[in-house]
Amino acid sequence: MIIQVLGSGCPTCKKLFESTKQAVAELGLKEEVEYITDVQEIVKMGVMSSPVLAIDGKPVIAGFLPDAKKIREVISENIK
């Protein structure tokens, strides 16, 4: 599973990156969370808002900073 946070480098994006890393640790997963600031990558996914949380290249959250519970939920739902 590839977990990525994509953002334009704004404060909200950094916060999402931090919360995601924490959520991954709390779920006891070994995955590294990638932080991508190349906006072109967001556009390529077809998403038009930032920040984005993507799992295996698929955007699961876009455009807002969810709470810790929501992040854990979407990660758990997408574990294979």
Residue 21 near residue 31, CB atoms below 8 Å: no
Choose, by CB under 8 A, the member of 25, 26, 44, 56 that binds another protein. Answer: 44
d(CA 41, CA 67): 24
Would you count residue 5 as binding another protein (CB under 8 A)?
Answer: no
What tokens appear for 36 in the block? 């991508």
Instruction: With contacts defined by CB under 8 A, name the span among 4-12, 20-28, 71-79 that binds another protein.
Output: 4-12
Does position 27 interact with another protein (CB under 8 A)? The reply is: no
Number of Cβ within a 10 Å radius of residue 54: 22
Q: Name the site residues for another protein (rule: CB under 8 A).
A: 7-8, 10, 12-13, 39-40, 42-51, 59, 63-64
